[in-house]
Structure 1
Amino acid sequence: MQISKNEKELENLVSQDTDLEKMYNNIISVPSIGKITALFLICFTNEFSTFEKPRELACYCGVVPFEYTSGKSVRAKPKVHYMANKKLKKQLHMCALSSITYNPEMKAYFNRKVEEGKNKMLVLNNVRNKLIHIICACVRQNRHYIIREVA
């Protein structure tokens, strides 16, 4: 009961600002991106004004691993920076799991990469990155996501 009350209150707050409502609706038009994830992204990115490129947002969300290298030697396997936003990363992880289950386009991508011999977590991280790029494209172009048919 309290959760539904809070959700209605959040929806009322979003509906008071037309630009914010458009952005919110564009984000939730992406399959597997829910209301809470959309609100997290809007809040943490200051309505997508903090980051100029989707790659920067992906780094902030902890989706892009970096190698620790010195010269020719690679000293450790690629890791995510400790300052990454772990709340957003967790939200995007759940969205990616949902996406590879229900979105035919992402499901085909996931299955193709796993058949190629890639690690499942690596491919899931790539799906998270793809979701961020899709969301940023929808917000930047001010349009809803269009689901494509998988051939």
Structure 2
Amino acid sequence: MQGKVSFQEDAMPVVYAGVDVSKEWLDVHLHPLGESRRFSNDKTGIRQLKRLLARYRPERIVMEATGKFHRPVHRSLWHDGFAVAVIDPLRARMFARACGYLAKTDRLDARFLALLAESLRPPAAAPPSPHIEALQELVNARSAAKDDLTALQNRSKTATTAVLRGELNRLVRRLEQHIDRLDKEIERYVGKDPQLCRKAEILTSIPGIGRITALALMAGMDELGSCSGKQAAMLAGLAPIANDSGARTGRRSIRAGRPAPRRALYMAALSACRYNPALARFAETLKAAGKPAKVVLVAIMRKLLVLANCLLSQDRLWTPNPP
């Protein structure tokens, strides 16, 4: 119509963001806008990153799990309403290789994380609670101290010089005191949190799962009780992975997953084979079928994990099955 002008605003494209996290920097890439920026990995940099993201409100933000370095930005973005997914770094690297890129830089990593967000749509996940993060730090410190103690004790047994043996024995005593202090702090921390205390009570009610295994599961698998048994087995790396091709039926095997809970469950399975009647019968059935000893142990580990997940989801203690 004459004298009238029609305006049509361009629709804003759906934006996906990839954030490559390092100790010092936050590299962000916005896809499909093609914009890349770098911010410092501190409070100031996180504020600047949120101001940038607030302009585009990305559909999904993807970053890699990097120990402690990604936690502050993950928590800050989540509290401001951004959908953030944290993925395994190996998964991101394999995605980049599948795209035909072998080079690795922070800028490229951020770009491929944004492409992965659009292509795979990984689910957003809330950051763990501060209580769980603190428990994880304490349990991981205890585990590292136990490894150091074992190494020192082995060196002390093979040392032939009296001076060296004395020095190593002194270090062993100091580490033992350090572990004792960590044990007391862990117990104090769990005791003051009713939710953690209840979880520990449920887990330790299962024959075969002791206090150390329960703490390893609580710290290493916060998802227990809120996921399915199959998901729990996959998280711990205890689910048999198919290996078939054409007419060939390959042997199933376990791989990947979280090593700390899996190591704890290995020791628990050894105990459960002796003191858990139902699992002992299950183990005997597998042995009678000709299953190797390690296969039997892995099956017991998976049974223990699925049982723990079920009891936590129902918030009840273990009770023996009626005869």
Q: TM-score range by the shorter chain?
A: 0.7 to 0.9
Equivalent residue, structure 2, for 1:7: 183
Equivalent residue, structure 1, for 2:291: 118
Equivalent residue, structure 2, for 1:70: 245
Q: CA deviation at 1:93?
A: 0.9
Aligned pair partner of 2:221 in 36, 42, 45: 45
Q: CA deviation at 1:52?
A: 1.6
Alignment of structure 1 residues 13-52 onto 2, 5 Å: 13-46=189-222, 48=224, 52=227
Query: How many angstroms apart in 1 are the aligned matches of 2:297 and 2:203?
Result: 20
Tell which has more relative contact order, 1 or 2 (C-alpha 8 A, sep 6+): 1
Amino acid at match of 2:273: I
Query: Going by fraction, where is helix more abundant, 1 or 2?
Result: 1
Which deviates further from its counterpart, 86-95 or 110-119? 110-119
Equivalent residue, structure 2, for 1:142: 315
Query: How many angstroms apart in 2 are the aligned matches of 1:41 and 1:129?
Result: 13
Q: Secondary structure of 1:66's partner?
A: coil
Number of corresponding residues: 147
Equivalent residue, structure 2, for 1:94: 267
Aligned pair partner of 1:57 in 232, 242, 246: 232
Segments of 5+ residues of structure 1 without an aligned counterpart are none
Segments of 5+ residues of structure 2 without an aligned counterpart are 1-176
Amino acid at match of 2:252: P
Q: Secondary structure of 1:113's partner?
A: helix
TM-score (norm 2): 0.42
Check whether the contact 2:242–2:252 (CA below 8 A) recurs between aligned residues. yes
% identical equivalent positions: 26
**Residue 60 to residue 47, structure 1, CA distance change in 2 (3 Å):** closer
Q: CA deviation at 1:79?
A: 2.3
Query: How many angstroms apart in 2 are the aligned matches of 1:100 and 1:48?
Result: 23
Which deviates further from its counterpart, 37-46 or 27-36? 37-46
Amino acid at match of 2:245: S
**Residue 148 to residue 4, structure 1, CA distance change in 2 (3 Å):** farther
Query: How many angstroms apart in 2 are the aligned matches of 1:30 and 1:80?
Result: 24
Structure of higher CA gyration radius: 2
TM-score (norm 1): 0.85
Amino acid at match of 1:106: L
Q: Secondary structure of 1:78's partner?
A: coil
Q: CA deviation at 1:142?
A: 0.7
